[in-house]
């Protein structure tokens, strides 16, 4: 942004929250986000802990709203409380980092900006991080509201607003750590049962709701519940066939939905799963999730050329995909396996090294590195371990890989 915009008057910001029993997280959340908002607008959906007291003492405008299994409804109620020129919406389990305040302050002085994304960071096992640009800031407008009862979104309405006004979407380098779907916290909040019930209710009302189908299959994957996916995958397939997949053409989740659906429909038949994905190739926008699953299935059925092409297609989308594991580590390891099967150990090791450059703690990459290093570099595996420790320090993944390689 220009220095002129940085000196422009700062617009008022309404921070909008919906809460229920978040007393454990609210003190740190409020401490981190303090000084960013001008107005704190909160909808409480039934707290029994100290959440309400903490928020009122922080200066919040707070209303009680009975929970009706509809996150969009609660979000829209919070918008009704807002009077600022801009809206920021977060949850108490989303902790802003040091780069957040300055980035938002500059945005609020930008007269041409109409909305902005921030970087939501989810930490995954074995050092993987999924960092996604999410739309969380927008100018308040009566026509902007949330939709979808769960995993609610406002992007459709904001896009229409930007089209009407000619204002621009900015992408902030402002980071937020999301704690909500770490497994322990999700279990504490009983999120599996809650989310499943809401999604099934949405699908009963609208079987053609592909967004809810995607979220249901994604939920089954997160909780490692293949029975849940298998129970509902046939109905999802019927819904897509009924509307010829038209809703997937522009959906950013289309390729991942198909990848999940293929695995759910044909868990023991890779050839059938592969045919399913090939049939749908022209019905989606480019997707790393789609190409990774297609490449893995091609590898399983022995089509090396198709597997290599799929892994390469996945890597080509790395800059557009927030999940580093999905778009870099996994396809690099897929290519390593193909070269390993062909007996080309140096080429396999080169792909393993690239995978480790993206995530030094990936278990598959570390195990392959421990196995291949002595064969390719003609040095003991302890040399690799020493080099790794000098760069990254000790990790449980390295210890496990060394033990398995020795066995």
In the chain (407 residues long), the average pLDDT of successive 10-residue segments reads 63 97 96 96 97 97 95 97 98 95 97 96 75 92 95 93 97 88 60 92 93 95 94 96 81 93 97 97 93 98 98 94 86 98 98 96 96 97 97 94 90
Looking at residue 407, its pLDDT comes to 81
What is the topology classification, in CATH, of domain 3-182? Answer: Spore Coat Polysaccharide Biosynthesis Protein SpsA; Chain A (3.90.550)
Q: List strand residue ranges (DSSP E) for 3-46, in order.
A: 13-19, 39-44
Measured CA to CA, the distance from residue 370 to residue 309 in angstroms comes to 27
293: which 2 tokens? 């699953």
Phi/psi at 170 (5° precision): -100, 155
Where do the structural domains in the chain lie, given as residue ranges? 3-182
CA distance 153 to 119: 16
pTM, entire model: 0.80
């Amino acid at each position: 942004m220009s220095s002129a915009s940085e000196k422009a008057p700062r617009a008022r910001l309404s921070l909008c929250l919906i809460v229920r029993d978040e007393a454990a997280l609210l003190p740190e959340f409020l401490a981190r986000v303090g000084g960013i908002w001008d107005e704190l607008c909160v909808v409480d959906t039934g707290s029994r802990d100290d959440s309400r007291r903490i928020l009122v003492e922080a200066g919040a405008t707070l209303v009680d709203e009975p929970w009706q299994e509809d996150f969009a409804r609660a979000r829209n109620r919070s918008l009704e409380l807002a009077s600022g020129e801009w809206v920021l919406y977060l949850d108490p389990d989303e902790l802003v980092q040091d780069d957040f305040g300055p980035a938002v302050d500059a945005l609020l002085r930008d007269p041409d900006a109409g909305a902005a994304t921030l970087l939501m960071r989810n930490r995954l096992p074995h050092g993987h991080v999924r960092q996604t640009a999410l739309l969380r800031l927008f100018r308040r407008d009566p026509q902007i509201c949330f939709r979808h009862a769960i995993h609610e979104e406002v992007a459709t309405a904001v896009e229409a607003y930007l089209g009407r006004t000619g204002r621009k979407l900015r992408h902030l380098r402002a980071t937020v750590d999301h704690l909500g779907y770490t497994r322990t916290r999700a279990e504490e909040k009983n999120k599996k049962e809650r989310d499943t019930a809401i999604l099934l209710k949405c699908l009963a009302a609208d079987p053609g709701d592909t967004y809810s189908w995607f979220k249901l299959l994604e939920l089954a994957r997160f909780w490692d519940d293949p029975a849940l996916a298998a129970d509902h995958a046939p109905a999802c397939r019927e819904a897509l066939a009924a509307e010829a997949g038209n809703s997937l053409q522009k959906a950013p989740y289309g390729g991942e939905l198909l990848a999940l659906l293929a695995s759910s429909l044909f868990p023991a038949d890779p050839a059938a799963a592969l045919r399913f994905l090939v049939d749908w190739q022209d019905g989606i926008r480019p997707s790393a999730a789609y190409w990774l699953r297609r490449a893995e299935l091609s590898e399983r059925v022995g089509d090396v050329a198709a597997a290599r092409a799929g892994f390469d297609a996945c890597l080509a989308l790395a800059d557009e995909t927030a999940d580093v594991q999905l778009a870099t580590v996994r396809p690099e390891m897929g290519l390593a396996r193909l070269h390993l099967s062909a007996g080309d150990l140096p080429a396999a090791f080169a792909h393993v090294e690239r995978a480790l450059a993206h995530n030094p703690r990936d278990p598959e990459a570390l195990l392959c590195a421990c196995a291949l290093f002595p064969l390719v570099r003609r040095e003991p595996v302890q040399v690799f371990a020493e080099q790794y420790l000098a760069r990254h320090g000790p990790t449980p993944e390295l210890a496990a890989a060394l033990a398995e390689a020795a066995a």
